[in-house]
Amino acid sequence: MNFFLAMLAWLAISFLFGLGIWLMAVKGIFWVLALVTIGFTVAVWKIGCQAH
């Protein structure tokens, strides 16, 4: 179950990054890409860098 949830999370993050890049390229909206990047960085910092 953890693997499935991890794959689902990566798909969601990839979709949001893709949406942010598309909005930046097509409509010039920078905020979605900036928020996704900040959110991803914080998530990796808090969850991915924990001591085991």
Structure tokens at 35: 């928020």
- What confidence score (pLDDT) does residue 46 get? 83
pLDDT band at residue 1 under the 50/70/90 scheme: low
Tokens of 18: 């893709």
Give residue 9's pLDDT: 87
Count structural domains, the chain.
1
Contact 19, 32 (CB under 8 A): yes
pLDDT category of residue 52 using cuts at 50, 70 and 90: low
Amino acid 16: pLDDT: 95
Residue-number span of the structural domain to which 6 is assigned: 2-48
Q: What is the pTM of this model?
A: 0.79
- Residue the block writes with tokens 């689902």: 8
- Tell me the pLDDT tens digit for each residue of 4-45: 988 998 999 999 999 999 999 999 999 999 999 999 998 888
The residues, ordered by sequence, that sit 6+ positions from 24 with a Cβ below 8 Å of its Cβ are 30, 32, 33
